[in-house]
Every structure is written in C-alpha cells, then in structure tokens.
Structure 1
Amino acid sequence: MLDLKKITESVQKSLGNVTKRIIICAGTGCVANGSLKVFNAFIKSADELGVKISVELKEEKGKTNLLSKSGCQGFCQMGPLVNILPSGILYTKVKVEDVKEILEKSIKADEVIERLCYNDNGKVCKGQNEIPFYQKQSRMVLKQCGVVDPENIDEYIFDGGYRAAKKACIDMTDKEICDVVLAAGLRGRGGGGFPTGKKWDLTRVQQRDKKYIICNGDEGDPGAFMDRSVMEGNPHSVIEGMIIAAKAIGADEGYVYVRTEYGLAVERMKKAVEAAVQKGVLGKNIFGSAHNFTLHVMEGAGAFVCGEETALIASIEGKRGMPSPKPPFPAQSGLWEKPTAINNVETLATVPLVINYGADSFRQLGTPQSPGTKTFALTGQVLNTGLIEVPMGTTLRQVVFDTAGGVTDEKGKVDDKNFKAVQIGGPSGGCLTKEHLDLPLDFDSLKKVGAMVGSGGLVVMNQNTCMVKMAKFFMQFTQNESCGKCVLCREGTRQMLLMLEDITEGRADENTLTLLEKLAKAVQVGSLCGLGKTAPNPVLSTLRYFRDEYNAHVKDKRCPAGECSNLVNYSINDKCLGCTACARKCPVGAIAGTLKKQHVIDTVKCIKCGVCLDTCKFNAVVRG
C-alpha cells in the first residue's frame, strides 16, 4: 500500500542536502524560446566550473545544487525563466550565454545579476514577490506549476499531493464528497459554470453497474492555454481530482481527453499516469480502500467541437465528433450509454484544494456565487502577457492595468488611454469595453452583459484594433470548426462570415447590418449544441458596443482603425519635405511630386499596400 508519509520523509531527506535549487521553466512557451538549451547549458557549464549539480532528487553524499524543470511559471512574455531557491531570485529572458555568469555569481556566491531581473520602470525586481505581474495574483491551482517537477510524482506527494484523494477514498462517502464540493460552490471552469457538486450528485444517484469520469482537456479557443499549462506543469493534480470525482460518482474508469496538438501535455499526462500506477495511486484498492480506478489518456484529433461534452464522448467511442441532443444528459447516459461526469482540467485540479482545506476555506476567495480563483490566458496589446490566476470577482480594470501592466500602443509603450476592448471567452465569448472596466469577472456578472468567462481567454485590444475585423476573425474560426450537423450553425455561420467580409471590403449596405443581427440571433437560438449557440456572441457584442464602427464601414466606407485595407485611404500632409522616398518605394507609381515639394497620392492608382506609410520618416503620410 502507498505510504505517503514515507515518501515525504524520503524527499525531505534528499532536499536536506540541496544547497540551492535552479528551476528552469519548461512550459511550452519557454521551451519554444530555448529553455531546454538553457537547461543543458547548466549541466555542461557546471561541470566546467566545478559546481556540483544533480538533475535528480535523490540522496547525495555531501551538499549539492538541484537542477530541475517546472511547468509554466506564468510570465510567458519574459521567458525563458530561471527561478533560484531558496533566495527566490527570478531571472528573465535567460540565454545560453548567461548560464556561466549565473553559476558563478548566483550559485557559487549569493549575488544578484540585475540585468537579468525584471525591470519595472527603472525598479529592479529580484523575485516574483516584487514583480507587479505576480503581486496581484492568487495562485492556487497554478501554485505548484512553476515549482514542482511535473515528471516526479514524489515531489508532488512531498508538497501534499494525493492526501485529498486518500481522504476521499478512505474517510468519506460518495455523498459526503458531493456535499463538500457543492457547499464550496465550485463551478465548472470550462465556461458553463455549472455547479460541480451538483453534476457529480446527478451522476452518483444513477443506479448502473458502470460509470465513467472524463477530463476534458480539449482546449480549442484561440489564444487559450490554461488547461494545457496545468497538464504540463502539474498533471498529478488532475489525476488526484479525477480519483476524488470517481469515488464521488461511483466510477472505476476514466479518460483524460487531450488535443493531439498539445504534445508536451500529452507526454506529461501519460508519464504521470504511468507513475501513479507504479506507486499504487491508480489501480485496484487504492490507498488500501475498496475503490478501484483505471485511467486512460486519449488524444483528440483537434476538432474545436470536441470541446462540447457529447461530441467529446462520441470521439472517445471512435465516432465522428458531433454533438447529440440533450436530454439525455451525460450524467444519465454518456460514454457507451453509461452515466458519465465530464469536467475540464482546471475544475478537477481545483478539487483537491476543496477536499484538503474545506468548503469554508475555499469560499474565502472569490464572490458568494462564484467562489475560488480563475486562471486566464492574458494576451493582446498589454505590457505583460502570460498565464494568470486571480480571485473570481476581480475587475477587468485590475487585470488590464495592474496585473497586465497597462495597454500598449503600436510601438509597445504603455498608454492606458489607448484601451478599447477585451475579448473574453474566445469564439464563444463577447466584448467588454471601457464601461465594463469595473465589472467583476465572474460567471453571473459577465452573463448579464452578453459575455461569458469561457475557458479563460483574455485578449486586450487598443484603439488601433478594428472590431469588425476582430468579429470576422472569430467567425472565420467558428465557421471552419462547425461540425456541420445542424443547418443553422453550418450555413448560418457561413452567411454571417460572408456578410462580415462584405462589410470589411466595402460591399455592404445598411440592410446588411439588419440581416446580420437577425441571422446571429437565429443561430444563437436554433443551433444544437452550446458551441453553435454561442458562436454569434462576438458579432452580437461588437454590434451592441461598437455600432458606430460598423456604420462607418457600411455608410462611410471607412475603417476608423485603418485595418481594413479596402476601406483605407492614404494621403500626404504638409509635413512632407519632398524627399521622394515614398515615391521611389511605391510599387505602382501612385505618388507624384517634385523634389523638396509636397507630394500627392493618386487614390485611383493606389493599391493601399502601406509602403508609403512605412517609408516616410516625417509622419507626412496619413492613413484614414
């Protein structure tokens, strides 16, 4: 039988010989920026400099320094990241050529290399506790992601792992588990916000001989990477959540469904399952209880619609991933017509926190109706992008101007007056504007303004963003990903996309806007699954809050943001010195003028390529 205490003591003993720990971020973002090369450079350089380094957590003779990898540490824009414990130093944008200096100054000695630290408007931030990006967060689900080695189950156990699962399997009944999760108010983090405890209880009461638990890791929203990061950085938290869920509903088998594009997440989830089986965490009579649980990791083919639970079930069964009408709900008849509970990655990773600390403790963060924290993938035109975790109810203003550091202009400089909108929830979400800056980010508040938390994507846009083009981008994505089962989604999204193309290319009239809005509402009402019903959200929310921008495209044949090339006109103002640089660069000879005199653009000849704007050094070319 698995002895958690013995493993904890063994790890503690091993760590007792560790002088300093060097943790290299090995999430997908940092790996893409070369963090594995940095990791290998530490091994090579340590040998050359005579610095003792171990790459495995085990008992050593004498003192050593431990080099390990972690999952995503969150500050993706600043990667590769190197965290040094126990001092808590965080180095950003580390390159291979920086490694020897780190070893000599920060490992052999205790010096801080300021040039590698994050610089906050002249202030050198030596660690996470000094960086505003981290200061405004409450990292609960993500707490272990940037610290523990995701491929070392003993480290997870040492940090309190699998204690909640053991408690659930030995000390709690299925109903008690459901009641605690319900009392905690945990709601599904995949976007719908359905009470997790209620979903489990509906599955629990089904009197069937076989039941399943499924982890939905098919995160398909553009720009979203929350679930991927949890699976990469702390896969055992997902497994532990699934063990608890399985005990609660009476399931003895489960599936982790991960999109195949998430290669690193798939690899680490599979390794974690293998390690859990070897330790006796998974299998028969786990923790010495009567509970059996087998877990499989399955790769999805990358269809966005498979994020919908009935389509996901069909995919696991070997069928084409297409949604089915409800009822029956999966809790009644799901995988192979057996009662099935489906939760997303973040929800399941949160469950051990609820069991370990109790419902009251969990409710200390968040709002009464949306307790706990939420992870967001923060991207777009802000100073700091990355993976964040904040309490439910945190305002948009706090996220954009505090955590993200403010809105940036075209040159990357912070200009908070440049804020225009935030797209939240991906293709299924909606737009939030200046009037929503003090809106709490929780399930109910967002629903009231026509948006949704979704899986947690946050795309910040400045004044140079065309909202019509943005809506067209998401509609193009949704149309491509429609499974085609129902006419309203298949044909409706296609016609909406064509109308948006007409608007951005100058072919639309006033009737186009009326028809677009009418069709969007029809698709919203008549589509079969949740993805089809929410597909029009980006269009409807931009029509609601940026109607003037649509009118400018349709009536004035003008794109206020200057992003729709067919609706952009270029002109030259009196700042022109007649240097002829733009005329020489123009590919179609549309610019005329003599040396040292103001030039003119022939709008008939102009192909609106923008070369003149890029070439002019005197801000004489105007786009409008």
Structure 2
Amino acid sequence: MDLHFGDSKPTDDERAAVDALLGPPESSWEGADRSDADLRWARGGRAARDRRDLLLPGLHAINDRVGWISAGALDYLCRRLTVPPAEAYGVATFYAMFSVRPRPSTVLHVCTDLACTAAGAADLCAGIEARLGPGIHLERSPCLGLCERAPAALTVRAGDPVRTAVSAPATVRDTVLAATAPDSAPEEPPPATAVPQAGNPGLTLLARVGVVDPESLDDYRTHGGYRALRRAFDLGPAAVIREVTDSGLVGRGGAAFPTGRKWQATASQPDHPHYLVCNADESEPGTFKDRVIMEGDPYSLVEAMTIAGYATGAHHGYLYLRGEYPRALARMEHALTQARARGLLGPDVLGQGYAFDIEIRRGAGAYICGEETALFNSIEGYRGEPRSKPPFPVEKGLFGKPTVENNVETLVNVLPILTGGAQAYAAVGTEASTGPKLYCVSGSVERPGVYEFPFGVTLGDVLREAGVRDGLRAVLLGGAAGGFVRADELDIPLTFEGTRAAGATVGSGVVMAFDSTVPLPRLLLRIAEFFRDESCGQCVPCRVGTVRQEEALRRLGEGRGAAAAVDDIALLREVGRAMRDASICGLGQTAWNAVESAIDRLGAYE
C-alpha cells in the first residue's frame, strides 16, 4: 500500500461509511469534488486536524461496513482528517481486528487462548476449517473474554449495520451456522449465567446482575440506582475524594494504586480541561468481569463515571471498550442514551449545574491498550504505544491534559463507598486490602464465572465455591501476566499483601484452574506466543525478548535433551530479567512471570 496520497478512490460504501461519521466533506481538500472556490483557498484543514481523534472510529466505520480497509478508503479518511497516510497506515495495522488486505466480509474469530486451548480450541479450529466455505475468513484470536463458556468464537459480518454473533461454548456445527447465517445463531445467555452467585443477598458489586433488567433505567433506580450520585452532590467534590481515600479503595486492574490519591492529584491540577477515562479494554487472558458488569448492570458504570467526573472536575468522559464485546457495546450505548434523555448526563446533571457526558471509543484488538498511556494514544488517533513517564497522566494525560483513568471494577466500587460510607466499606476485607473483589474463575471447575468475595478469602475458598475438579495440578493467578501456584498452595490469602508474600499476584482477578489433562508446556508456549504478538515493538527488551522467550519454549517443547534444556532455561532467565528490568511498560515487565513460576514452582521441564 502506498504511504502517500495516491490515485486510489474509495467505493461508494467506503465513502458513505466515513461520511456517516464525519459528515459530508465541505471542500475538495477534504475529498469532495473540486470547485472554483477550492482553487483560491484551502478550507477545513485546521478543523480537520483537531479531529485526529476520530481516526480510530473512522477505521472502525470502514471495517464494519466493508470488512477490510482498502487503500482508497484509507486515502479518503486521511483527506477528511488531514492525517498523513503513513501514520494512518501505522494505526490501521496496529490492531488485530483490522485488515488492510482484501478478505471476505465475514470474519470468524476463534479464541485460542488459555481457557479455550484447555477446552479444545485446536480441535474446534480444525473442524471449522474443514466445513467453512471461501466466503468466510477464520482468524485465530487471543482471549475473547468469554472464558466461563470456553471454547468461544465471535462472528463479525460486515455491512450496514454490521452484525455479530457469539458462539460459546462453541461447537463446530453452531459456529459454522453463526458464520454462515449470524441471524440464525442462538441468542447469548443472560449475564446472570456468568455469575453463579446471582441473587445472593450478600453481594455488593454484583447485587443487581441477574436481578434488574439491564436495559431499564427505572428498574436500576428501583434497586438503589443514583443514590450514590445524589450523595456525591450533597457532599461536594472534595468530600467525595475524601470518602474514596478513607475507604482504602485501590485500583482493581492489577497495579493497585490508591484511587483517592489519583483523583486528588487530578482534581488539584490548575490546567483545564480535565478528562476521565474508563478503561474497559480488559484483554488479560482469563479476565471477563468488566464485560459481565457492562452487560448485566450498565447503569452502575454510567453513575460511577459521573461521580468520578464530578469529583475530579472533568466534564467529558471516555469509555474505552473492547472491540470484541458487541453486547456490552450495545448495552452501554443504550444506557447512555437513556441517561441523557432523563437528565442524568448532559449540560445539567440532575439539575445540579454540573455538565458531564460520556463518549464510547471502541478498541480493535490490542492488549497493550490496557496500559493507560497507550490507551490515551489510541483515543487520540495514534498507535497504541505506551508513553514514557513522567509526566504522569494526572498532570498530562489524554490530549495533554490532567486525566484520571480507572477500570470498570474500580469505578463501580465507588457506589457502595458513597451509599454506605467509607468506614463501612473499609471494614470489609483486610486492613491493607479493603472492600469486595471480583474473581474470574475458569478452567477445570464445575461452575466457572465471576465471583465476588471480600478480600481475605483463600484461593481454596474460591475454588471450592466454583467446584474445582479432581486432579488439580496448578492454578494461574492474575492471567498471562500473573503466575502459577501449585495445587498444595490453596491456602494463599487473596489479598495484595498475601499473594505478594507468596510470590504471586492478585492481578486483575484471574483464577484459572488446570487439571492433569492439560499439557503445561503447551500452555506456556501459548502465553509466550501471546506476548510476542501483543508486544507493540517500541522498546528493544520487549520486542526482542518476547520472541526469544517463545523460541526457547518451543525448543523445550521439542525435548532435545537435558543439556539443551538447561541451556534454554538459563537463556529464559536471562531474557526474562532483561525484559523485567528494562521494558518501558508492564507488558514486557510481566511477560516472563508465568513462565518463571511454572519452571520454579511446578517443575514444568523436569
């Protein structure tokens, strides 16, 4: 593809897709037919450059309508936004869900990540390939966030509108049917099926999932919705931040940074405007809790984001949502529409004189965009590569302005803090790890799903509740960026301090059990392949190290002898230390964790 403006023209469908997002072009400088006025002066360039952040939505618009992004379509989008084609090409090729090469309009994404690999994803792919016709493209995909129903597949059929169908647990027959006729695919089960504890009166964060109608704002309010926002307005921004600080709430995405400190640091910045970003791009293999909340209790996230915006002085929030979550997208779009219609978003929220609105931005398949600064670059229309720190996001984040970024679970924890008080919230859990925590349990258990427990329960407590199967060999805590623990270590307390003392991590809440039927070397190789594919390539330690790690694990899997194995394990340790010490962001710093734990704790290659 040429990396400059060329002679390629968009098709009518491609032009219509871009114009539906950006409006019709006003001059030939933006792609309209040339007029006499255009020969005398250029119009629209400055305004177009200010819309650079619409590059990712524009790529989605083309990909949704046609199924891939042609040179003509990219050229037209670049003209509309005055973005250099070389830069736009770099963005388009950064995301796994886009293609700049021709492909059929129907794409079938079959998950081949950890839970699905253990559930027979390889056989599923082979069976599907034997039955699919030429009009469907099969894509082996990283985690689709459907681990409680593994193996999983997602069909995307381009058109106006784009149509999607989820098959989970997927069979060859159902998946092929969904790919050939998405409208005939079986409906997804209700969100409550992913919450085995649904209806339990002791739940806090999951109390409404499976109980309220997720599309009904009235039902949400009947079950306590918007009480927290009203109390926030009664308290004022400073007191809200104090409540969050006193509660001891820390980030639930894995970094465990104190939420109140982050909010306070953003609110105190003199530079304006301030922004709020909700990170709903949960791409960690084995993680699906944020999806369940957005599908089963979407208004809770809208309310929580409004509170966070009010407390930090933000008037605009962005919800960065995984591109692989079509039902969550539909639920959140509906919730935002209803909230605006009822005065719960917009220029005067609840008549309190506070203006706030939320805009959804879809990801497109890039694990690295879960890192906060990479997410900011993605929203702004650049490649989703992490930025160097400092400056930190609370000083210069999205669009160079003070920004607070939290994930879905962290934000919805704010609601019980305000309705019940900081002291009551802090009384749950332990002194250093307060409040409830969501755990994504999958793998060799009878009842996979999202579980809610107060911090302090043991790993064994969680697994017994989920019905762990006989023959348990290992448990992966924290996802691919976490680590393995042995079957005799189930007394580990699931707190930040407890897992740290045990040489493990809570991470994003992944608890993935594996019995003796699952080949451990194959799992480790899949983890290495995942990090190799997801590395953005910006820094050498990660770009080279993830490749060398995969190569060494592949050789170990071939069983070339004890002496060769010793050399490869020594190489793995050296590469792992280099990635951990010198990588720019958490992806490279944690890419060796699971492999190291499997070698040292499980004796994976002995």
TM-score range, shorter chain: 0.5 to 0.7
Distance 2:479 2:231 in 1: 37
The one of 401, 422, 428 equivalent to 2:481 is 428
TM-score, scaled relative to structure 2: 0.67
2:509 matches 1:456: yes
> Equivalent of 1:536, from 585, 592, 603?
592
Instruction: Using the TM superposition, give the Cα deviation of residue 34 of structure 1 relative to its aligned residue in structure 2, in angstroms.
Output: 9.6
Q: Which residue of 2 aligns with 1:144?
A: 208
Distance in 2 between residues matched to 1:143 and 1:184, nearest whole Å: 20
- Offset of 1:138 from its aligned partner? 4.7
For the residues of structure 1 that align with 2:459 and 2:417, how far apart are their CA atoms?
26
Letter in 1 for 2:466: A
Q: Deviations over 1:320-357 (max 9, x none)?
A: 11101111111110000000000001111111111110
2:192 is paired with a residue whose SS is: coil
**Which of 145, 161, 168 lines up with 2:225 in the alignment?**
161
CA distance in 2, matches of 1:300, 1:75: 23
Task: Tell me the equivalent position of 2:112.
Answer: none
2:258 pairs with one of 185, 195, 202: 195
SS at match of 1:509: helix
Taking a change above 3 Å as real, the CA distance of residues 488 and 376 of structure 1, as seen in their structure-2 partners, is same
Q: Tell me the alpha carbon deviations over residues 351-404 of structure 1, each in whole angstroms, 9 at most, x when there is no partner.
A: 11111100111123211111111112211112221121111111011111x211
Question: Cα 1:162–1:338, aligned 2, differ >3 Å: closer, same or farther?
Answer: same
Following superposition of structure 1 onto structure 2, how do residues 64-83 of structure 1 map, counting pairs within 5 Å?
72-75=191-194
Q: Please say if 1:494 is aligned against 2:547.
A: yes
**Counterpart amino acid of residue 535 in structure 2:** S
Structure 1 range deviating more: 385-394 or 225-234: 385-394
Scaled by the length of structure 1, the TM-score of the pair is 0.65
SS at match of 1:255: strand
Q: Deviations over 1:479-538 (max 9, x none)?
A: 111111111111101100100000011234311111111211111111101122111110
1:192-245 Cα distance to aligned partner (Å, 9 max, x none) = 111111110111111122000010000102232110110111111111111111
The answer as to 2:521 corresponding to 1:521 is no
Alignment partner of 1:469 out of 509, 518, 522: 522
Unmatched 5+ residue regions in structure 2? 1-144, 150-164, 170-187
State the alpha-carbon separation in 2 of the partners of residues 374 and 70 from structure 1: 24
Q: Which residue of 2 aligns with 1:389?
A: 452
Structure 2 matches for 1:437-452, cutoff 5 A?
437-452=490-505
Distance 2:198 2:371 in 1: 37
Q: Which residue in the other structure is 2:602 paired with?
A: 546
Q: Distance in 2 between matches of 1:320 and 1:531?
A: 16
2:268 matched to 1:205?
Answer: yes
Alignment of 1:183-262 (within 5 A): 183-262=246-325
- Secondary structure (helix, strand or coil) at the match of 1:252 reads strand
Q: Tell me by how many angstroms 1:304 deviates.
A: 0.3
Residue 389 of structure 2 aligns to which amino acid in structure 1?
Answer: K
Q: CA deviation at 1:160?
A: 1.2
- How far apart in 1 are the matches of 2:545 and 2:442? 29
- Counterpart of 1:405 in structure 2 is 467
Shift of 1:154: 1.0
Q: State the one-letter code of the partner of 1:152.
A: S
User: Relative to 1, partners in 2 of residues 1:369 and 1:228: Cα closer, same or farther, differing over 3 Å?
Assistant: same
Matches within 5 A, 1:368-383: 368-383=431-446
Alignment of 1:130-141 (within 5 A): 138-141=202-205
Say if 1:373 and 1:441 are closer, same or farther in 2 by CA, change over 3 A: same
Matched-pair contact (CA < 8 Å) for 2:192–2:198: no
Q: For each residue in 1:408-445, what CA deviation from the matched residue of structure 2 results, as whole angstroms up to 9, or x when unmatched? A: xxxxxxx2xx2221101111111111342111111222
Alignment partner, residue 130 of structure 2: none
| In 1: Cα distance, 2:198 partner to 2:213 partner | 19
Correspondence for 1:505 among 558, 573, 585: 558
CA–CA separation in structure 1 for the residues paired with 2:533 and 2:167: 30
For 1:384 and 1:360, how far apart are their aligned partners in 2? 33
Counterpart Cα distance in 2 of 1:403 and 1:441: 14
Aligned pairs for 1:280-295 (under 5 A) are 280-295=343-358
Query: Contact 2:244–2:414 at 8 Å: present in 1 too?
Result: yes
**Corresponding residue number in structure 1 for 2:422:** 359
Query: Matched residues in 1 for 2:274 and 2:168: separation?
Result: 43
Distance (whole Å) between structure 1 residues aligned to residue 189 and residue 422 of structure 2: 29
Measure, in 2, the Cα distance between the counterparts of 1:158 and 1:509. Answer: 62
Q: Identify if the C-alpha distance between structure 1 residues 145 and 513 changes in structure 2 by more than 3 Å, giving closer, same or farther.
A: same
What corresponds to 1:586 in structure 2?
A: none
CA–CA distance in structure 2, aligned partners of residues 185 and 531 of structure 1: 27
Letter in 1 for 2:297: N
Q: 2: CA distance between counterparts of 1:510 and 1:532? A: 23
Mapped partners of 1:34, 1:520: distance in 2: 35
- Name the SS for the 2:438 alignment partner: strand
Counterpart code for 1:278? A
1:271 Cα deviation after fit? 0.8
Distance 1:246 1:464 in 2: 48
Contact 1:71 1:150 in 2 (8 A): no
CA gap 1:75/1:233 in 2 versus in 1, 3 angstroms: closer
Q: 1:281 to 1:240 in 2, by over 3 A?
A: same
Deviation string 1:535-556 (CA, Å, 9 cap, x unpaired) is 1110111122023x313xxxxx
For 1:229, the aligned partner's letter is: V
Whether the 8 Å CA contact 2:272–2:402 is kept in 1: the answer is: no
- SS of match in other structure, 1:183: helix
Instruction: Check the 8 A contact 2:198/2:207 in 1, yes or no.
Output: no
Structure 1 pair 375–74 and aligned structure 2 pair: CA distance change class (3 A): farther
What RMSD, in angstroms, separates the aligned Cα atoms of the two structures?
Answer: 2.2
Summarize deviations over 1:580-600 as a string: whole Å, max 9, x none: xxxxxxxxxxxxxxxxxxxxx
One-letter amino acid of the counterpart of residue 550, structure 1? Y
Task: Give the secondary structure class of the aligned counterpart of 1:73.
Answer: helix
Deviates more, 1:433-442 or 1:186-195: 433-442
Distance 1:449 1:465 in 2: 24
SS of equivalent residue, structure 2 residue 473: strand
1:181 aligns with 2:227: no
